[in-house]
Amino acid sequence: MRSFTVAGNIVNIFSKRIFYGEVEVENGKITAIRQTSEQTVPGAGFILPGFIDSHVHIESSMLVPSEFARLAVVHGTVATVSDPHEIANVCGMAGVDYMIENGKTVPFKFNFGAPSCVPATTFETAGATLNADDVKKLLQKDEIKYLSEMMNFPGVLHGDPEVMKKIKAAHELGKPVDGHAPGLRPPLSDQYIDAGISTDHECFTKEEALDKLKHGMKILIREGSAAKNFEALIELVDEYPDMMMFCSDDKHPDSLVEGHINQLCARAMKKGINGFNVLQAACINPVLHYKLDVGLLREGDTADFIVVKDLENFSVLQTYINGELVAENGVSLVTTKKASLINHFDCSEKPVEEFEYKLNRFGHHDHENIEQVQIIEALDGQLITNKIIRPISDFNINDGYIHSNTENDYLYMVVVNRYNNAPVAKSFVKNFGFKKGAIASSVAHDSHNIIAVGVDAESLSKAVNLVIKAKGGVSVVDDDFGKILPLPVGGLMSNEDGYKVAEAYSDIDKAAKNLGSGLAAPFMTLSFMGLLVIPHLKLSDLGLFDGDSFQLL
């Protein structure tokens, strides 16, 4: 490897100093950092450690790891802490191995975890199961840095033997355990943390985060394409600078083209948060917590650093990983080859009749046995949902069938088992806002069955069948057209050029909004309507699920 020197204003986050100097690199390592002036030099750029996304599901970008890296380096991201539980729920151990191997094909530092909850619950059909022995095997791999988010917090609180075996395996191997406990408060949150769980990215109020911080848990500020908790939590960076990190969790390809962790740093600076604390959360804390092999701009470290134009907007001029220039002036220098395919998709196309909402006929009248309907209320920018209960009279009923009500925005929602031929699960949802047509997706956390929302059975059938024909994808249909973005890798990711995928996703997202939706990200919001581990009301392929009582209704 060549030797070279980069000059600029050097940001030492550890000593909280900025000075002009040179960083000397040889064979991928920083061999010297020389200060040549106490003063910063205007226009010289600022050299700092690279950004790290401390919790992300690469699959949610709809890109394979190599293409994700190609887009992310442009924004100064040099590493991710990545939970591959999406592909694991579809393809099991083979899916995790796929992510690791594909990630190795590019100069980027993917740090994968061992998925702790595959399947996430027993109340849905997944494509695979990882038991405690499987998880231990994964944790023994050098490439696996931690036990991924422990979503089964009831299992932790009740001492479920299988759950505790997974946590114990991570502790024995000296690897941290990630948490996932939305809304959990003392004393239950204390009990959860005391089980040895070290982080949480699910806090949606400052009060909840403070409870967990005071009990020793590290908090990740999440700002993704759907879940956005930055505004609620950002002040904590100044209060607990050693215990905060930034993450996206789930980021769609069009969002990734626009920016990544650099955007959160810029927003934090505009809020008046101390700049060194911001950079500690973005660059330093993830490396120390997860023991990552990522350089922190010190002599002897691997040369993983970036040059930004300024410390306000964090426009990235150059990104270096292992001493290799991987992005410059907004252009990615990462080269990729087309990835192979892995999938698990075994259901047949569905006739319109399977999407019709037929009322049970227990009484003399079609709806005598039904007085109220439970409706899932989607919330823009949140993973949690509300439960709405409305009288049957709010719906249109004809010939024994109950129809959606676009005036009140009560729309059909269905989940179709992708792994077997099974009955279609049905419910109603509010806040998608469609006046016509339907959208469908095989990205549906966490089991990734096909989920769809629409105004009528015909539209649902068309949208779902487009996804089934492609063996995965996101689709939108209207009276006169149907469009799909195929996702042939696990029904989750494309193996095409990342920038082209982002453009195609932008087009299909726009088409979904043209159906009448006011949601910022209709497909991302849709993908979480089946996420049973987040309260309050969700839909799995087995039926309507109450996230508070943790049971099928």
Q: Supply the pLDDT for residue 176.
A: 98
9: enclosing H helix or E strand = strand 3-12
- Residue 545 CB: number of other CB atoms within 10 A? 25
Domains and CATH numbers, the chain: 50-294 (3.20.20.140), 352-552 (no CATH)
Mean pLDDT of the residues in the chain: 95
Two tokens, residue 434: 């469609």
Q: Quick one: DSSP state of residue 74?
A: G
Consecutive H or E run containing 543: strand 543-546
Is there a contact between 343 and 472 (Cβ–Cβ < 8 Å)?
A: yes
> What pLDDT is attached to residue 228?
86
Measured CA to CA, the distance from residue 475 to residue 501 in angstroms comes to: 14
Tokens of 282: 């973005």
User: Which residues, other chains included, contact 187 with Cβ-Cβ below 8 Å and sequence gap of 6+?
Assistant: none
45: left (phi over 0), alpha (psi -120 to 50) or beta: left
Give the DSSP per-residue string, 204-248. -SHHHHHHHHHTT-EEEEEB-SS-B-HHHHTTHHHHSTTSEEEE-
pLDDT in tens, 410-468: 999 999 999 999 999 999 999 999 999 999 999 999 899 999 999 999 999 999 999 99
Mapping DSSP onto H, E and C, the string for 355-386 reads: HCCECCCCCCCCCCCCCEEEEEEECCCCCCEE
The pLDDT score that the predictor gives to residue 1 is 61
pLDDT for the residue numbered 369: 55
pLDDT value at position 367?
A: 43
The span from the CA of 124 to the CA of 181, in Å, is: 20
Strand order from edge to edge, sheet including 3-12: 29-37, 17-26, 3-12, 46-49, 305-308, 316-321, 324-328, 331-332
Angle at 57 between CA 95 and CA 539, to 5 degrees: 90
pLDDT tens-place values along the chain, 553 residues long: 689 999 999 999 999 999 999 999 999 999 999 999 999 999 999 999 999 999 999 999 999 999 999 999 999 999 999 999 999 999 999 999 999 999 999 999 999 999 999 998 889 999 999 999 999 999 999 999 999 999 888 899 999 999 999 999 999 999 999 999 988 999 999 999 999 999 999 998 999 999 999 999 999 999 987 778 999 999 999 999 999 999 999 899 999 999 999 999 999 999 999 999 999 999 999 999 999 999 999 999 999 999 999 999 999 999 999 999 999 999 999 999 999 999 999 999 999 999 999 876 443 344 445 678 999 999 987 888 999 999 988 888 888 899 999 999 999 999 999 999 999 999 999 999 999 999 999 999 989 999 999 999 999 999 999 999 999 999 999 988 999 999 999 999 999 999 999 999 999 999 999 999 999 989 989 999 999 988 899 999 999 999 888 899 8
Residue 421 burial (CB count, 10 A): 10
Complete edge-to-edge strand list for the sheet that includes strand 77-82: 51-56, 77-82, 109-114, 144-150, 177-179, 199-200, 218-222, 244-247
The residues near 323 (Cβ < 8 Å, ≥ 6 apart) are: 1, 4, 25, 26, 27, 28, 29, 302, 303
- Position 372 scores a pLDDT of 87
Question: What pLDDT, on a 0 to 100 scale, did the predictor assign at position 360?
Answer: 65
Query: Which pLDDT belongs to residue 370?
Result: 65
Token pair in block for residue 123: 């109340």
Over residues 286-328, the pLDDT tens digits come to: 999 999 999 999 999 999 999 999 999 999 999 999 999 999 9
Nearest to 515 by CA among 459, 457, 464, 447: 459
Contacts of 100 (CB under 8 A, 6+ apart): 110, 112, 141, 143
**What residues pair up with 321 in beta bridges, in sequence order?**
324
| 3-class DSSP assignment, residue 32 | strand
- DSSP-assigned states of every residue in 281-308: IIIIHHHHHHT-S---SSTTSB--EEEE
Q: C-alpha angle with apex 507: 447 to 52, nearest 5 degrees?
A: 60
Report the alpha-carbon distance of residue 186 to residue 208 in Å, rounded. 9
